[in-house]
Each structure stands twice: as structure tokens, then as C-alpha cells.
Structure 1
Amino acid sequence: MRLTALPAFQDNYIWALQAPDGSTMFVDPGQAQPVLDAATQGMRPAAVLLTHHHDDHVGGVAELRARWPNLAVFAPEDERIHLECERVGEGDRVESAGFTFPVLSVPGHTRSHIAFHGHGHLFCGDTLFSLGCGRMFEGTPAQMLASLRRLAALPAQTRVCCGHEYTLGNAVFARHVDPTNAALHRRQQEAMDMRSRSRPTVPSLLASELECNPFLRTHAEPVRQAIAARLGRAPLDEVEVFAELRRWKDGFRA
């Protein structure tokens, strides 16, 4: 299958996973035009997957439905998504046009956030980013950490397809937290090279995120030491490590 990151807005990605026959699953189309353009290049819309209710992830669906009235849309249980769609949640499986995606509940960024994992890809919206994670608009640190742990337990060769191009900014913060991490330094250099050539820095491999992403490394001693230095004491547990790490990132300025 062929994966394409379609740029939208300033830094969003709409993901397109295309089967050999042209059938394409589109993920989080906040804008319709990139999908309409992709369709002219042979990506035939089979269905749309939505990870959460924010407009930059769902705002293009109505226009796509005007073009393809029977387009299947799969979305989380959330009354803020004002669309006719099939509601899915934890334990469900999306099956459409030869695609199969088990659904994972990953609350934290929003209370109803879901992710789709299948065909070697993880479509995780704004829960997990390369070298970072989403802000907690509606969830608690314990919820978000549990969600990230669920994603971290997926196969290491999973391709992480997140909703935004945030890798360079995340890398600067991650290097402040974990400055001696050689794998992180390599990933930062790789990302800088990609962006210098106007290439997306994602998808990344989950194996790389496990080595480099401080929000998946709340158990690691360098991350714990960095948080202890901020707290002036040893953190009580990984939830406190994560909570302080997220608080630090929220106010971070390079």
C-alpha cells in the first residue's frame, strides 16, 4: 500500500493510504481541497477516518460528502462531530474496501480521541507526535500517559502517522530534556535535512520514537533526572514525570 501525507493549513497532514486498485483511505481531512486534488491523481476515496472532533481534522468532510454522497465516514462517539457517520470506539474494527483497522481509545488530547492501527500504520491524530505528544485539552496526565503506553506497545516497526508537522520544534525541547541521547541527536539531524528539502518528517517508526521521544521515556533515568531537577525532588511516579514534562513543554520557548 502507498502512504501519502497531504499538507493542509499551516502544518496539518491529511493521510492517504492507497491500495493497488486505487481505493484510498483518507484520515482527518480538515480541508477538502487536498483530497479533491488527490482524487484527480488516481486516489479513489473509499472511506474517511476521523480521530477527534477538532475542526482542523474534520472540517473538510462536508465538502467531500457533497462530491461523494455515499462516502463512508468513521468517527469517535462525540456529539461535537456534526456529521452522519459510523461511530466507532475501543475494540471496534473498521472494515472497508479491503482495509481493516482496529480502533483504540486514546483519551487525553480530547476525551473521545481514537486511533486507527492497521496495515503497519498507526493513525494517531494529535495523541502522539514525532518526538512529542498532544496537549491535554480535556484529559488528565494519567489518561494521556495510559494512552501513550498503549501506542508504545504496538509493534516497533509501526509507522507513526500523526496529524501535524511538529518534529523540529519537538526535537529542540527533547534535546533540552535528554541532551546526551545519541539516537535523538541523529533523529533531529535527519528531520532538519528532511525539512530543508521540503519533505515531511513523518511517518516515523515507533522504534525510533521509543528511543527518542521523551513522552514515551518517562521511565528512563535521564528523563526522570531532568524532571527531578525541575521539581527539586525525585518524582513520585511516571504520572508525575509525564505531568511535569507536559507542563514544561507547554511553557517552553527555545
Structure 2
Amino acid sequence: MRLIASDIDGTILGHDGSISVRTIAAFRDAADAGIDIVFVTGRPPRWLDPIREQIGHTGTVICSNGAVTYSLESESVTASHLLPWETVEQVRHIIAGLTPEPYFALESLDGLHVEPGFFAQSRPASLLDVVPAALSPGMADGGIIKMLSVLHTGSADEFLGLVRPSLGRLISVTHSAPELALLEMGPLGVNKAVTLAEYAAAKGIDAADVVAFGDMPNDIEMLGWAGAGYAMASGHPDALAAAALLAPRFEDDGVARVIEERLAALHRA
């Protein structure tokens, strides 16, 4: 074990925005043992406060499902994969032809842009300052890293199953929202595994020496690529089916328990 790659939401971070004391200690012990740590998330760079403030992570975070590599040490984007506006327009047209009343948003390197109707009755406190506006080509100037589409009925699994066959040659599409019919779309061929593999190669680390944790469909490729890919027992069925290994539930500090066991094995070796 030379590198630990972990998803954030639902894997180490709860709905209340907290990371357990045991999990924080496990990551710190791993770092003290010389193991590289990278967090791999669907979150954009502006939503990294939990790992910055609670874990004290100052290294690399792979954001937006692989579209952005971000340094917490320099607070800067070190690499990115962008969506062209032409692809955004094509995808909007296709999805609008497949289902009534889809709403769209764009995550760019300079912020979140949502169209009217994207938010339902309520929105997270972190998004209260986002003012809905018509999506326009000028938003591509900020570098589009993720496209979002939401339905206010149904499930994410149903929405994904509906649109994926028509989008497979244009864009990468996945989801990570357990209770919303919300899809996350990024540059074609880009996912968590692709960017994690680039990061590991730059460090001279083979996939066999990577331990990865995740819980949702946007983690599937990463869990399959890592030498030891652990799906959380509390995770999505598709993540569980894709992973060779199973970590205890999030509620049982599953990530921390696996890290503790692997560190103990290293010390015994």
C-alpha cells in the first residue's frame, strides 16, 4: 500500500458534514507512515472545506469526477479536462428529447451556473448565493468541467438508464446523488480512474499499490482500477458489484477500519 485514494461524500463524510474522529486519525496515521493520500470526488474545488479543515489535508484532490486536479497546498488547479460548448448544446438537445422538463447546470472553474427551474423547493445553504440564469456560450470562458441535469421526479438510476445509450459517444455520464434524479456529465473518456491513474503514474506508483474507497456509480471505474478497490457496504448496488473488496458501512467507520488493518499488517511485515 503506497497510495490511498478515497471518495468523500458517503464514504468518509456524512450528511451532517462531519468526518469521524476515528477516520481522521486513520488518515493521519497513514500519512505519518509515508503513504500518499489523494481524495477523489465529484465535488468541485470550491467544496473541499471538510477535508481541508477536518483532516488537515494539504495535498492533491481529484475533483469533478476526474475533470480537475487541485492542489490544496497552493490552492490552485494543476490540471483540467474541459467540456466544449458544442457538446453541452448537443447533450441538452438529446436529453430534452428523451424526457420532459429536464433542467441543467454547468460547473466551471469560476463557479456554478444554473438555469431557472434547476432547484426544487429548497437548496443547500452552500448554494443560496447562486442566482439562476439562462445558460449561454459565454459560460464556457470559465472552463466547463461538469454538466448537470436534474429531473424533479424519478430516480438517478432511471434517469441514467434512459439517457446513457444516447450520450455514450459524446460525454461521460454518471451519478452520485442517492436521493435525487441528478446526473453528472464530464468530458468524454474522463472519470475518477483515468485521472487517478495519471496521478499515480507521476508518482511512480502502480495500480497494484493503490487502495481505493467509494460508494456510488461515479466510483466504479476507480474501484476497478485500484489494486485493492473497496466499495462501502452501505453503498450503491452498482458500486458493490464492481468492487472486488468490501469495506464495512460508512456508519461503522468502514474506511478507518480498513486503513487500520492494513497499517497493522505493514507494521507486522
Query: TM-score, length-normalised on structure 1?
Result: 0.31
RCO higher in structure (CA 8 A, sep ≥6): 2
Query: TM-score, length-normalised on structure 2?
Result: 0.29
